[in-house]
């Protein structure tokens, strides 16, 4: 590993740790579904960074589970954070759209009988 790659990886570890710490603090303060997905995505993205660091330093092998030459661990850690972000954003969008729609008014069915006119009174 070259010096430049090491600096980039260490900076990702530091900034990812800060983002993950703040995400965990937010996790303890909110129970909103959309935010929970974004927080889980952030924690998983940091997990991918840590796994990449451990793999670069030779502590973990990237081929823990391989199917057809593709590392399933690497595939999951790379794509799951984005999937969680997407689900969180979709929940936010759907919730906003449901709030902005006017409530449905009950339909009044017309009666089948013909309306009768009130009796007319003669004026003198």
Provide the domain limits for residue 93: 3-99
Number of domains in the chain: 1
Plot region of 69 (φ>0 → left; ψ -120 to 50 → alpha; else → beta): left
Residue 14 lies in a domain: yes
SS3 category, 7: helix
pLDDT (0 to 100) of residue 12: 94
Residue 84 lies in a domain: yes
pLDDT (0 to 100) of residue 113: 66
Summarize pLDDT for 104-123 with one digit per residue, the tens. Answer: 777 777 666 666 666 677 76
Measured CA distances, 95 to 30, 33, 35 (Å): 16, 10, 12
Measured CA to CA, the distance from residue 86 to residue 92 in angstroms comes to: 10
Residue 10 lies in a domain: yes
Measured CA distances, 32 to 18, 23, 29, 81 (Å): 21, 13, 9, 18
Measured CA to CA, the distance from residue 84 to residue 79 in angstroms comes to: 9
Summarize pLDDT for 41-83 with one digit per residue, the tens. Answer: 999 999 999 999 998 888 887 777 888 888 888 899 999 999 9
SS3 readout for 36-101: HHHHHHHHHHHHHHHHHHHHHCCCCCCCCCEECCEEHHHHHHHHHHHHHHHHHHHHHHHHHHHHHC
Choice between 19 and 116, residue whose per-residue pLDDT is larger: 19
Residue 123 lies in a domain: no
Residue 122 lies in a domain: no
Residue 124 lies in a domain: no
Residue 107 lies in a domain: no
pLDDT band (50, 70, 90) for residue 1 = confident
pLDDT mean over 1-12: 89
pLDDT (0 to 100) of residue 118: 66
Residue 117 lies in a domain: no
Cβ atoms of 23 and 36 within 8 Å: the answer is no
pLDDT mean over 30-35: 90
pLDDT mean over 20-26: 94
């Amino acid at each position: 590993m070259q010096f430049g790659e090491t600096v980039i990886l260490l900076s990702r570890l530091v900034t990812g740790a800060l983002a993950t710490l703040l995400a965990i603090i937010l996790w303890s303060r909110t129970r909103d579904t959309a935010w929970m997905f974004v927080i889980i995505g952030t924690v998983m993205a940091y997990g991918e960074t840590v796994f990449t660091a451990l793999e670069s330093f030779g502590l973990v092998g990237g081929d823990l589970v391989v199917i057809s030459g593709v590392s399933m661990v690497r595939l999951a850690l790379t794509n799951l954070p984005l999937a969680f972000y997407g689900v969180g954003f979709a929940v936010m969008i759907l919730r906003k759209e449901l709030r902005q729609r006017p409530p449905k008014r009950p339909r009044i069915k017309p009666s089948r009988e013909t309306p009768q006119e009130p009796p007319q009174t003669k004026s003198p």
